[in-house]
Amino acid sequence: MEKLLAYCGLDCAECPARKAHLTNDDALRAETAARWTKEFGFPFTAAMVDCTGCTQAGAKIGHCSDCGMRACGLAKGIANCGACAEYASCAKLGGFLGQVPLAKANLEAFRARKA
């Protein structure tokens, strides 16, 4: 299956928030909200777990609506942060990628394909 990369490098195709949106699965929304609340220490609600993918036209993005990486990518008109000339020195992205190695691997693979 082809990846659907968010600006930050997360694969939206694998995200439970997008899966819940596509299947209209309220149980998955509630389960994911509880898991993310425990994992990230933020009080997620089931309503926040509903997303079409942050780079998609007319995106419904739930919990990622305040994402600085998304706002920056939209402003620059890029496919994802891996396409940005400031990728290696970005303060917004650096801390996140240190915590989410899979997102970093996705962006690195994107950059390698574009090189």
Structural domain includes residue 65: yes
Range of the domain at 98: 12-114
Domain count, the chain: 1
Structural domain includes residue 4: no
| Contact (Cβ atoms closer than 8 angstroms) between residue 70 and residue 8 | yes
Return the structure tokens found at 105. Answer: 């691997």
Structural domain includes residue 3: no
Structural domain includes residue 80: yes
Per-residue pLDDT of the chain (115 residues; tens, 9 = 90+): 578 999 999 999 999 999 999 999 999 999 999 999 998 888 999 999 988 888 877 777 777 777 889 999 999 999 999 999 999 999 989 888 988 899 999 999 999 998 7
Supply φ then ψ for residue 5, to 5 degrees. -80, 135
Structural domain includes residue 2: no
Structural domain includes residue 60: yes
- Dist. CA 35–CA 42, nearest whole Å: 10
Structural domain includes residue 6: no
Model pTM above 0.85: no
Residue 30: CB atoms within 10 Å:
15
